[in-house]
Amino acid sequence: MRRREGQPGPVKRQFGHRARLALTADQAAVLEGQGHAARTIWNLLHDWWTMLPKAQRTLAAADAIIRQGRAELDWLGVLPAQAAQAVLKCYFQAWKNCWEGRASAPEFKSRLRTKMSIDIPQGRDLRVQRVHRRWGMVNIPKVGRVKFRWTKGLPVGKRADKDHRITGARLVKDAFGWHIAFRITTLTPKPAVHPGPEVGIDAGITIPLALSDGTSVEHGQWLSKKEEARLLHYERRAARRKAHRKKGESTSHRLQHTYDQIARIRATAKRRRDDWQHQATTAIANTYGTVVVEALRITNMTRSAKGTLKQPGQHVAQKAGLNRSVLGEAWGRTVELLAYKVADRGGTLVEVPAPGTSLECSQCHTVTEGSRRSQAQFVCNNPACGWDGNADHNAARTVLNRYRTGHALVPAAGRAVVRRATSGVKPTTAR
Ligand SMILES: [Zn+2]
């Protein structure tokens, strides 16, 4: 085994910090206006872009369109010029993501379904100040000084310099109101190599996170029975009101209110899940030096199982159930969190090829017919082996074994690792 160390010295880190804004009703109304203006600029751009011959699609021409739009539609002027430029940048990034296969093509942003957001691209415009143990003040263009909850030490005042500073922010509105997401850059010393053991992780069906050492990280229900009942109640009410709505009639205030109540309960569940994900990934990154995960392509896994007319899919209902649970656990975000947390602590996150990890026996490394007895149980049908145990733990052990036998894809983050399978060496058994 050979490990190639990166360059010594401090590493630049970029991260975000989200804080709740305490806005007066007037200030919230101003932000609302800015949010709608930002959305309109996006739609203008998209309209113009899709109409234009390909050769004329340039940044300069898009910039001209924004200037023209701001001059002609005076209510767009409520949005600061820099925020309008940020929409332009965002729009082009959306196309870049599409061309490079990370996302589907940008679309129009609808008034009701779009999450409102406004960018503040310049960190120095924010003039962040701590005014109390729990409160900070931030300058928001065209709104003024706004109070926000201070829950984390931000690099401001004497603690800010060219290596530690806030580089910008984004204002986002969710079901709980307006938040500010700061973009922060810091220079931190390169962490020492994490001495912890290796571990394989599987995003299980019956266990949220199964670890190859036999432990697991679990969670309760995201919503209490009472909250679930309330959600169902509101969903039924919304469906009823929607059914009574005449064709072409706009959403009533009552229906909108019910939609908001539904959104708030769903956001509560999401916030609890995010919190659990942070706690689980921090604990794993603290304990283990090398973390091995499956390189799952969530988009492929969750794509509709219905197939096409010519090639109808099989087990459509089961796959739909799996899709829901995979999305529910949000494996992609778990890996994302693990990647930076593991790297911060001097560890390595490695991805191994996923196909067949749930079918392969982690003891004798063979695939036998019918070994996966159920979602939870795995029994090896190899007469010489006969290993049995939890199917999710089995998959986690196989994931680790694939790394140890040299099947690692590129390290997902952290130090670069070169591993070669040496012939004649017995593969180590998973912990
Ligand atoms: Zn076996």
Q: What is the pLDDT at residue 410?
A: 54
C-alpha span between 141 and 130 (Å, rounded) = 19
Q: What is the pLDDT at residue 229?
A: 93
Over the chain (431 residues), the average pLDDT of each successive run of 10 is 50 87 93 93 88 82 79 83 88 86 85 87 89 92 92 82 89 91 89 91 84 90 91 93 84 88 89 90 95 70 45 51 51 86 91 84 88 87 89 92 78 42 37 35
382 CA distance to ligand 1 centroid (A)? 6
Say whether 230 sits in a helix, a strand or coil: helix
Q: What is the pLDDT at residue 147?
A: 93
Say whether 241 sits in a helix, a strand or coil: helix
390 CA distance to ligand 1 centroid (A)? 13
Ligand 1 ion: Cβ-proximal residues, 5 Å cutoff: 361, 363-364, 380, 382, 385, 387
Tell me the C-alpha to C-alpha distance, in Å, between residue 291 and each of 97, 154, 197: 28, 30, 9
Is the dihedral angle over the CA atoms 95, 100, 102, 105 positive or is it negative? positive
Q: What is the pLDDT at residue 114?
A: 83
Residue 301 C-alpha from the chain's centroid? 17
Q: What is the pLDDT of residues 393-421, one digit of tens each?
A: 999 999 999 998 877 665 554 443 333 33
Q: What is the pLDDT at residue 313?
A: 52
321 CA distance to ligand 1 centroid (A)? 28
β-strands 177-188, 129-130 pairing: unpaired
394 CA distance to ligand 1 centroid (A)? 10
Q: Terminal CA-to-CA distance of the chain, rounded, Å?
A: 19
In the Cβ-directed half-sphere of 286, how many Cα atoms lie within 13 Å? 6
Q: What is the pLDDT at residue 315?
A: 53
199 CA distance to ligand 1 centroid (A)? 20
Query: What is the overall mean pLDDT for the chain?
Result: 82
Q: What is the pLDDT at residue 174?
A: 87
Listed in sequence order, the residues at least 6 apart from 207 whose beta carbon sits closer than 8 Å to its beta carbon are: 216, 218, 390, 392, 393
CB 82, CB 122: distance < 8 Å: yes
292 CA distance to ligand 1 centroid (A)? 21
In the Cβ-directed half-sphere of 384, how many Cα atoms lie within 13 Å? 5
Q: What is the pLDDT at residue 317?
A: 52
C-alpha span between 291 and 415 (Å, rounded) = 12
324 phi/psi in degrees, rounded to 5: -60, -45
The pair of three-digit structure tokens given for residue 357, joined into one six-digit string: 């990890």
CB 77, CB 142: distance < 8 Å: no
C-alpha span between 91 and 379 (Å, rounded) = 51
255 CA distance to ligand 1 centroid (A)? 57
404 CA distance to ligand 1 centroid (A)? 18
